[in-house]
C-alpha cells in the first residue's frame, strides 16, 4: 500500500447507509424495508488494490453503485478522489469506471472495436487516441484477433474481455470491478487478474476496488480486504494480517460418515471450538466439517464428541489458515451459506 497523507484517500465512506423501501402492499418479509448497507466506514488509499469480500446479498454491489454515482445513499457520505459522490458527481464520473461480472452488454450489430470506440466517445477521447488505446489494450489482453468480430458472435468469456477493456479505455483513477471474473474460465480469469495487478502497479495513482466472493482471488490480488456481510464491514486488513488475526486459532477439516445430532451448534458447544461449518459430502451419509479451534489441544475432545455421536472419521487434516477460515471466524458461516439473520 502506498503511504499517503491521511487526507489522500481514493475512496472514503462515512457511516454509509442504504435502505430499500418495502412494497407496502405485500405481506410478510417483503413488507419490511431491506437494509443493504448498515453504517459502512471505509478508507481506500491511492494506489491500493482493495478487495471487498462477502456472500451474495452482502451489499458489495450496492456499495459500488453508490461510489459510482448510480445510486444515492440513504444516509452518510462517500467521496471518490475527494469529491462527494452525491453532491459533486461530475468530477467523480471523470475519474472512475466500472466493470461488472456477468455483463453481456453490447450492441449485436457492432464489432468489438466499434463498441469500444463508442464508449471512448462518452469519455471525450478523440477518435485517433481512443483507437490506439483500444488496440493496445486488446493486444495486452490477448483479444486483438476479435477486434472486427460482431458482438453477437462472441462467447461469454470474450464479451467479458471486451467489457473489461471498456473499463480501462478512459484510464480511470479509480476502477470498480464488481465480480469481474464471474462465470469465466480459469485461463481468462487468470489473464484478467494479472492484467489488473499490472495495471495498478504501473502507476501509483491508480486504485482498484474489487468485489468478489472468490477467496483465492481476494487473497492473491488485494493489498487489503474488507469482509462485508449483511451490509456491515466486519473486518478490514491485509490478507496476511487477517489470517494472523486468528492468532493461535487453527483450521481443521474432518470428513465424517454416519453419526447422529452433529450440527454446527453442537460442534460450537465443544469447549475450544470457536466456529463450525457443516457441508454435505460426496455420499448420502457423509459430511465435511470445517472448524476454527483455539488450540491444538481441542482436537482430542472434539474427536471424542464425534465418536460419542456415532460418527466415523474418514479423514482429518489441519490446514493453513485461509481467508475462508477468516470469513468463517468473523461471520460465523462459510461464504456459500446464505444464512438468515
Residues near other proteins (CB under 8 A) are 5-9, 12, 18, 20-21, 25, 62, 65, 68-72, 77, 79, 81-84, 88, 90-91, 93-98, 100, 103-110, 114, 117-126, 151-152, 166, 173
Shortest gap between Cβ of 251 and other proteins (angstroms)?
Answer: 37
**What is the closest distance, in whole angstroms, from the C-beta atom of residue 172 to other proteins in the complex?**
10
Q: How far is the CB of 176 from other proteins (least distance, A)?
A: 9
CA angle, residues 309, 315, 319, in degrees to nearest 5 = 110
* Residue 16 beta carbon to other proteins: minimum distance, rounded to whole angstroms: 13
CB atoms within 10 A of CB 35: 17
Q: Least separation, in Å, of the C-beta of 308 and other proteins?
A: 39
Tell how strand 224-229 and strand 273-280 pair up: unpaired
In angstroms, give the least distance from the CB of 132 to other proteins: 16
CB of 290 to other proteins, least distance (A): 32
**Cβ proximity to other proteins, 26 vs 312, nearer residue:** 26
Which residue, 1 or 109, is less far from other proteins as judged by CB? 109
DSSP lists the bridge partners of residue 228 as 233
Q: Which is nearer to other proteins, 109 or 279 (CB)?
A: 109
Amino acid at each position: 500500500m502506498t503511504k499517503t497523507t491521511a487526507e489522500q484517500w481514493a475512496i472514503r465512506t462515512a457511516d454509509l447507509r442504504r435502505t430499500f423501501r418495502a412494497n407496502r402492499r405485500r405481506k410478510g418479509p417483503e413488507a419490511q424495508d431491506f437494509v443493504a448497507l448498515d453504517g459502512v466506514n471505509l478508507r481506500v488509499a491511492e494506489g491500493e488494490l482493495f478487495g471487498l469480500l462477502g456472500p451474495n446479498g452482502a451489499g458489495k454491489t450496492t456499495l459500488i453503485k453508490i461510489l459510482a454515482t448510480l445510486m444515492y445513499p440513504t444516509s452518510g457520505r462517500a467521496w471518490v478522489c475527494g469529491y462527494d459522490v452525491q453532491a459533486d458527481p461530475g468530477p467523480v464520473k471523470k475519474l472512475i469506471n466500472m466493470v461488472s461480472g456477468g455483463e453481456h452488454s453490447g450492441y449485436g450489430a457492432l464489432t468489438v472495436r466499434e463498441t469500444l470506440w463508442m464508449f471512448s466517445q462518452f469519455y471525450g477521447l478523440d477518435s485517433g487516441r481512443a483507437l490506439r488505446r483500444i488496440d493496445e489494450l486488446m493486444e495486452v489482453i490477448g483479444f486483438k484477433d476479435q477486434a472486427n468480430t460482431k458482438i453477437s458472435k462472441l462467447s461469454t468469456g470474450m464479451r467479458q474481455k471486451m467489457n473489461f477493456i471498456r473499463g480501462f479505455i478512459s484510464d480511470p483513477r479509480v476502477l470498480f470491478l464488481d465480480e469481474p471474473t464471474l462465470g469465466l474460465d480459469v485461463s481468462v480469469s487468470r489473464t484478467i487478474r494479472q492484467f489488473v495487478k499490472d495495471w495498478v502497479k504501473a502507476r501509483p495513482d491508480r486504485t482498484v476496488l474489487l468485489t468478489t466472493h472468490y477467496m483465492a482471488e481476494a487473497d492473491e490480488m488485494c493489498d487489503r480486504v474488507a469482509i462485508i456481510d449483511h451490509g456491515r464491514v466486519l473486518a478490514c486488513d491485509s490478507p496476511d494480517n487477517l489470517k494472523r488475526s486468528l492468532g493461535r486459532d487453527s483450521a481443521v477439516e474432518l470428513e465424517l460418515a454416519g453419526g447422529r445430532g452433529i450440527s454446527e451448534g453442537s460442534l460450537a458447544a465443544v469447549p475450544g471450538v470457536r466456529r463450525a461449518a457443516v457441508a454435505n459430502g460426496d455420499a448420502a451419509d457423509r459430511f465435511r466439517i470445517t472448524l476454527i479451534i483455539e488450540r491444538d489441544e481441542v482436537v482430542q475432545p472434539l474427536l471424542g464428541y464425534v465418536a460419542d455421536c456415532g460418527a466415523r472419521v474418514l479423514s482429518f487434516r489441519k490446514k493453513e489458515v485461509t481467508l475462508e477460515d477468516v470469513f468463517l471466524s468473523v461471520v460465523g458461516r462459510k461464504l456459500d451459506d446464505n444464512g438468515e439473520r
